[in-house]
Amino acid sequence: MKKHSAPQRAKAAAAKLHPANPHQQGYDMTALRATLPALTPFLQTTPAGKLSINFADPKAVKTLNQALLAHHYGLTHWDLPEGYLCPPVPGRLDYLLYLADLLQQNNQGKKPKFSKLTLLDIGCGANLIYPLLAVKTFGCQVLASDINSTALAHAQQLIDAHQLGNNIKLRQQTSDQHIFDHLLKPGEYLDVTLCNPPFHQSAADASAGSERKRQNLGLGDDAAALNFAGQAHELWCEGGELAFIRRMIEQSKAVASQVFWFSCLVSKQQHVAPLQNALQQAGVTAQHLVEMAQGNKQSRFIAWTFLTEAQQQLWRQHRWR
C-alpha cells in the first residue's frame, strides 16, 4: 500500500500548479479582456504595473471565471446563481490533471483512452466546474451528482447551453447521509470519482471562517456574506470534512467492484493520517496521497481502490484500451 514519505510530501507541497496546467504562469488579462470585454471594468493595475482584479469582489471573480472558461475552454455561456460558491478554475483543473496522472500510472505509463472513461463528481454544485473541465480537457464521460435540486437545475442549464448532454449526465442524491447508495445502478462502472467535500463542521464554523477571510483581506463588516457565499450543503456538514470523508470511505465498500479509483480532496493536513488509517481498516488494496499547491494555498487529495491486481488488469484491458 503506497504512502508518501514526509520529505516527498514537503517537496510536492512546495511545487506550483501541475506542469500541464495552462494557468501556471498567471492570467493574461489582456487576452481575457479581448475574449470577454465585460471583464474590463473590473481590471486594475497593480503597483508592479500588471493588470489584475480585486479578488475580494465576488462580481469581479465571477467575471474572471467567465473569461477564463470562455478563453481557454470555449465555455462561453458559463454563469452562476447568486449565493453559490464560485470555484477557482486553476485549482479545480489541477485535481483533474493529477487524477489523469494516477490513471496513466496504473496503465503502465500510457494515457488511457479518456473518451472511454467515466468520471463521477460527487457534489457537482450549480457551477458544474469539474464536469465541464473534464469534458473539455479530456473528452471523458461524466456523471455528476448533488443533493440540491436548485443546483442541479442550473447545472442542467449549463449542459444545455454548451450542448454537452451526450457527455454529462446529472443524478440527484436524495439523502444527505448517503453518497453512493441509490446513486449507482447495478452494472454501472466508474473509472474514477472525485469530490470537494464540505469543509466546515457547523454553520457557526462556516461563518467564523468567512469572518477570518474578511479580516485577512481587510474588508468591511458587511463584506463576509457578500464575498464568501455558498449554500449550506456546500460549506458544512456535521463533523466537517473528516466525518464526511470517513463516511465516504465506509460507503465506498458497497460499490467496491464498480469503481477503479475513489478520490476526495482533503483540505486539512491533520486529517490525512486518520483518513489513511480509515482506508487501511476498510481493506483497500492501494491508496495514494497527492499533494497540490496553488500559490500559497496547499491542498491534497487521497485516492483508494479495492480492486486486486488481477481485477485491475481486467479493468484496464476492457475499459482503457
Residues 6+ apart with CB under 8 A from 296: none
Kindly report, residue by residue over 226-283, the tens digit of the pLDDT: 344 554 444 445 668 999 999 999 999 999 999 999 999 999 999 999 999 999 999 9
Kindly report, residue by residue over 153-176, the tens digit of the pLDDT: 999 999 999 999 999 999 999 988
Instruction: Name the residue with cell 436524495.
Output: 174
Residue 65 has what pLDDT? Answer: 97
Note whether 111 and 101 are within 8 A (CB).
no
Residues 6+ apart with CB under 8 A from 231: 83, 84, 85, 148, 151
Note whether 260 and 194 are within 8 A (CB).
no
Instruction: Give 205 or 147, the one with higher predicted confidence.
Output: 147
Kindly report, residue by residue over 73-124, the tens digit of the pLDDT: 999 999 999 888 899 999 999 999 999 999 999 999 999 999 999 999 999 9
Instruction: Give all domains of the chain, ordered by start, each with its CATH number.
Output: 6-25+85-319 (3.40.50.150)
pLDDT > 60? residue 179: yes
Question: Could you tell me the pLDDT band of residue 321, with boundaries at 50, 70 and 90?
Answer: confident
Q: What average pLDDT score do residues 309-314 get? A: 97
Kindly report, residue by residue over 43-60, the tens digit of the pLDDT: 999 999 999 999 999 999
